[in-house]
Structure 1
Amino acid sequence: MVFIGYHLSASNSYSSTFKFKFQQFDKCRSTLPGVIICANRKLRPDESVWRPKQSTQNVDFPPKLPKGKKKPYPIPFNEIKQAAKMERKLTSKGIEKPLEPPKNGLLVPDLVPVAYEVFDAWKLLIKGLSELLHVIPVYGCSECSEVHVAPTGHCILDCEGRTSSTRHSSHAWVKGTVNDIIVPIESYHLFDPFGRRVMHDTRFEYDRIPAVVELCIQAGVDIPEFPSRRRSNPIRMFGKKVIDKGGNLEEPESLHVAKSSAILDFDTYRACERFPPPPLSDIPKIAQETIDAYQIVKKGVRKLMKKYTVKACGYCSEVHVGPWGHNAKLCGSFKHQWRDGKHGWQDATIDEVLPPNYVWHVRDINGPPIQSKLKRYYGKAPAVVEVCVQAGASIPVEYKPMMRLDIVIPDTDEAAMIA
């Protein structure tokens, strides 16, 4: 075996490299010479190494944000200040703000099919939950926002309602509805998101519809009852001021007519009364279709929010779909007196537009109710997922770690002996 030096290119960064030439001999013949090259190249800063993703076994529950504090910014505040600084720099130089669809009022053609897919899946989600609630019992607390999917309410003492002290923090359970499973987050419908803003005195001139539906309308879905302006000429902005709206167009008068069948398809109010109980043999199929529709809605809304602007209040649950938030003085959360009831608008997250509404996961429906002493052994899941799983749907992979399926739940007497 002979060592041979190997010259490498100076453009790439390599570690020590060796090249060996060897020849094997037999009793009667010899084989052809072969070459072994061992080289280790250092990675550049812009390169990455693929590694297999390690699946987490159990994850912690999402923390509850304190009510007496502002929500954290989804975008780092330094990036927000840097973007504002660049915008002021362009304004001082007399340069118009560069805008791309949909920031300039035009539709994104590639996202129009996504909007229709989300809208159809949203209607299928409401229909499936309305049918499943005839079979799967759901309870909601009349004093707080707690929801439980089981034949009876749980016994965990964590009620935060106004009269919870008289009940020793136990929940006051009543029969739940679709609004207990899907938290109703509504937004004002705007004919032109870049037109006049919703003021406090004119707030009753606009209809309130689910924020997911309003996002789909602005992304290209056409609903006759809720018209939306489709621009052919982009808007122009100089700093924060709109200097050209792409032509003037009068807004149609608000219809305020009785809800048609098309509107009722995506409305969660009294949805269980519109759909009859399904046959018991179809329950697993409906559950799987419902959980698939929920996954489509969540994935599609996340994709639309990367392009279309959605604002959320940093203090309360108000959401507005559009480039700017409205001016209705309806915020009653932390220190609203200092803001005269105005909302503190910031970029919204997917959990603010489509709240997951986590509930306790019940492994055995026919078993004993959930106890406070065994609270740390139970898992959680979104209310939609919990309803569909109890109806026979398969558990999505991303929710298994939070549901804590691999933890053995001890008896009440054994819990005190576990470290």
Structure 2
Amino acid sequence: YCSEVHIALTGHEMKDCQGPGNGNRRGQHEWVRGTVNDVLIPIDSYHLYDPFGKRIKHEQRFDYDRIPAVVELCIQAGVDLPEYPSRRRLVPIRMIGKKVIDRGGFVVEPKRSTREQTALLELDTYGLNISPDPPPMPDSELRDLAERTLEAWETVRGGTAKLMKKYSVKACGYCSEVHVGPWGHNAKLCGSFKHQWRDGKHGWQDATLDEVVPPNYVWHVRDPSGPPLSFPLKSYYGKAPAVVELCVQAGAMISDKYKPMMRLDIVIPDCEEAKLVA
């Protein structure tokens, strides 16, 4: 019913579901098997051949491809993908403040690729949800995979933060829409708070790293095979990004960066002992 994610053999007992019918369920979650997209939240944006060209109008929203925002950021930073061409300028753009004085003129954008197979289709993880479970891995290989996954997560986060200092990324202040470019698009797709007053237009502002690569915090489980997390002991539990929690449960070492938010120094009491805590 909601976007809550929990990494353990059984779901937690926190009564904080905000989905439809939560009143009838008294805030209880109904857990189903998650997918990779539940751990790594996909954030897509429009691919632009020329980020400093004409803005995308609402009527043109289907004329542009939607690709992961991190991929679009890398393309604008210089990565060449044949399926998604990008204009490379040899002369810098002249601007006074936010006003463009000389952008080198407008060029005709190439037609969209009609090939069914592209490199980005390999990023689609829906097939992992319907495919059979892979054979079990030895503990040593699983631990090594967790370490490499955690290292890749830190590399993506760190690299994205560096690129965002050089290339402009915009985010809507009302919804989760992200646009990679010096200014946002004009597609009227915002459906968040009081969108009728804005005619569906987004409220663009400078994006943060967490809006481009969401950490997706989940409850930290010290014993994945133990009893589920209890609602009365909610204040004693810590949290961590879903990728980090998944890798830690697979055997990866906990970085000092995440130890404070996991609250590893807190002794979790029993429910009866918690009543005696001042």
Q: Do the aligned partners of residues 245 and 230 (structure 1) sit closer, same or farther apart at CA in structure 2, a change above 3 Å counting?
A: same
1:170 paired to 2:25: no
CA distance in 2, matches of 1:268, 1:246: 40
1:327 paired to 2:173: no
The answer to whether the 8 Å contact 2:189/2:202 transfers is yes
| 1:364 corresponds to | 223
1:219 paired to 2:82: no
SS at match of 1:341: coil
CA distance in 1, matches of 2:67, 2:134: 24
Which consecutive residues of structure 1, in runs of 5 or more, have no partner in the other structure?
1-142
The answer to whether the 8 Å contact 2:5/2:38 transfers is yes
- Residue identity matched to 2:47: H
1:280 paired to 2:138: yes
1:255 paired to 2:113: yes
Q: Do the aligned partners of residues 300 and 274 (structure 1) sit closer, same or farther apart at CA in structure 2, a change above 3 Å counting?
A: farther
| 2:272 corresponds to | 413
SS at match of 1:306: helix
The answer to whether the 8 Å contact 1:210/1:267 transfers is no
The answer to whether the 8 Å contact 1:232/1:246 transfers is no
CA distance in 1, matches of 2:135, 2:187: 41
| 1:73 corresponds to | none
Q: Deviations over 1:41-77 (max 9, x none)?
A: xxxxxxxxxxxxxxxxxxxxxxxxxxxxxxxxxxxxx
Give the alignment of 1:17-416 within 5 angstroms: 143-237=1-95, 240-260=98-118, 262-271=119-128, 273=131, 276-277=134-135, 279-281=137-139, 282-416=141-275
CA distance in 2, matches of 1:311, 1:289: 30
**How far is 1:384 from its partner?**
0.2
SS at match of 1:375: helix
Q: Deviations over 1:144-203 (max 9, x none)?
A: 110000001111110000111111100011110011001111100111101111111000
SS at match of 1:373: helix
**How far is 1:417 from its partner?**
1.0
| 1:32 corresponds to | none
Q: Do the aligned partners of residues 233 and 378 (structure 1) sit closer, same or farther apart at CA in structure 2, a change above 3 Å counting?
A: same
The answer to whether the 8 Å contact 2:169/2:180 transfers is yes
**How far is 1:279 from its partner?**
2.5
| 1:134 corresponds to | none
CA distance in 1, matches of 2:61, 2:132: 29
- Residue identity matched to 2:127: R
Q: Which has the larger displacement, 277-286 or 372-381?
A: 277-286
- Residue identity matched to 2:168: T
**How far is 1:300 from its partner?**
0.7
| 1:131 corresponds to | none
SS at match of 1:175: coil
**How far is 1:338 from its partner?**
1.3
The answer to whether the 8 Å contact 2:218/2:239 transfers is yes
- Normalised to the residue count of structure 1, the TM-score between the two structures is 0.63
CA distance in 2, matches of 1:244, 1:300: 30
CA distance in 1, matches of 2:55, 2:221: 46
- Normalised to the residue count of structure 2, the TM-score between the two structures is 0.94
**How far is 1:236 from its partner?**
2.6
Q: Do the aligned partners of residues 369 and 350 (structure 1) sit closer, same or farther apart at CA in structure 2, a change above 3 Å counting?
A: same
Which consecutive residues of structure 2, in runs of 5 or more, have no partner in the other structure?
none
CA distance in 2, matches of 1:193, 1:270: 32
Q: Deviations over 1:346-387 (max 9, x none)?
A: 000011111110000000112110010111111100000000
**How far is 1:234 from its partner?**
2.0
Q: Deviations over 1:277-336 (max 9, x none)?
A: 563341111000000000011111111111110000011111000001000001111111
CA distance in 1, matches of 2:222, 2:271: 16
Q: Which has the larger displacement, 305-314 or 272-281?
A: 272-281
SS at match of 2:198: coil
Identity among equivalent positions (%) equals: 66
The answer to whether the 8 Å contact 1:235/1:245 transfers is yes
Choose between structure 1 and 2 for higher RCO, CA contacts under 8 A separated by at least 6 residues: 2
CA distance in 2, matches of 1:412, 1:223: 56
SS at match of 1:397: coil
CA distance in 1, matches of 2:117, 2:264: 43
| 1:101 corresponds to | none
The answer to whether the 8 Å contact 1:379/1:404 transfers is yes
The answer to whether the 8 Å contact 2:53/2:106 transfers is no
